[in-house]
Amino acid sequence: MPEDHIQHSLAAGAPRPDIADLPRLVAPAPDPATIDWPDTATVTHVAHWTDRLFSFRTTRPRSLRFRSGEFVMIGLMGDPDPQSGKRRPLLRAYSIASPAWDDELEFYSIKVQDGPLTSRLQHIRPGDEIILKPKPVGTLVHDALLPGKRLWFFATGTGIAPYASLIREPQTYADYDRIILTHTCREVAELEYGRRLVEDLRRDEVLAELMGEGFADKLVYYPTTTREESGRMGRITTLLEDGTVFGDLGIEGGLSPDTDRAMVCGSLPFNVDMKAILEGHGLREGANSEPAEYVVEKAFVG
């Protein structure tokens, strides 16, 4: 019975229709094709660097578009809920370690034995599938920095991941005369991912063709350890404060807002210390909406 007819009949004093006679409004069952399920990606390669660190590569969903340096949410399906039996995805923010032009995705991760996600993620093998939400975000992007001459990448631990993307990004070498990648870890073995990355980049013929011969000459790799004896010891924050870094690299006068730009990715205490150092040299924190001289990845917690 049409709604306007019901209203008209009631207004005319006609008997009130029985509720069973009224049209039933039932929401249609959702079409599975229209539900916003997270995308999946298939693991293509896994490398275990230490008993605490591993990296892996996956296929790249066709829907995923990102800027080098951004992160996405990835994970696995969790165990069934004891009450409802439903399974929910376990998702965490991971920087994409591969550049925006790569056909595959790369990620670099810690292993937390009792961690809800990484306790399981560390056991993935080629052919397994992970969940990926194709909505990249992040502040470690070129758009968040004003033009400069020298770009610093400051990282601790797995904080090197976004820079693994950015040092393979052509815009990095087009925009800057010198790129300095600093990486601080406790032990020498924890530096191996970054060391291998830089070594492979310098002899990669595809990258040379893409970016131009000699592009890697602009890149300086500056690793340090804080616990195990190595060629260069000390926290990067200490080495900046006492001037060691500048002496090693032949930089006079330290950092300058006129020439230097910086990105920071590490633990929360490290980020706080780095912000104080950079601002002490006159650099201002930027963002996608308001570019400045340095940026910090606030989503990184490892």
> Mean pLDDT, consecutive 10-residue segments, the chain of 302 residues?
40 43 42 53 97 97 94 88 78 95 96 89 96 93 97 97 96 96 97 97 87 90 97 97 97 96 95 97 97 88 45
Residues near 22 by Cβ (< 8 Å), separated by ≥ 6? 1, 6
Domain coverage including residue 196: 142-296
Q: Are 164 and 240 part of one and the same domain? A: yes
Confidence (pTM): 0.84
Q: Are 290 and 171 part of one and the same domain? A: yes
- What pLDDT shows up at residue 27? 41
CATH code of 44's domain: 2.40.30.10
- What pLDDT shows up at residue 39? 86
Inside any domain, residue 47: yes
d(CA 115, CA 250): 43
Asked whether the beta carbons of 80 and 87 are under 8 A apart, the reply is yes
Last residue of a domain, one of 118, 137, 156: 137
d(CA 102, CA 240): 34
Last residue of a domain, one of 137, 166, 190: 137
- What pLDDT shows up at residue 300? 53
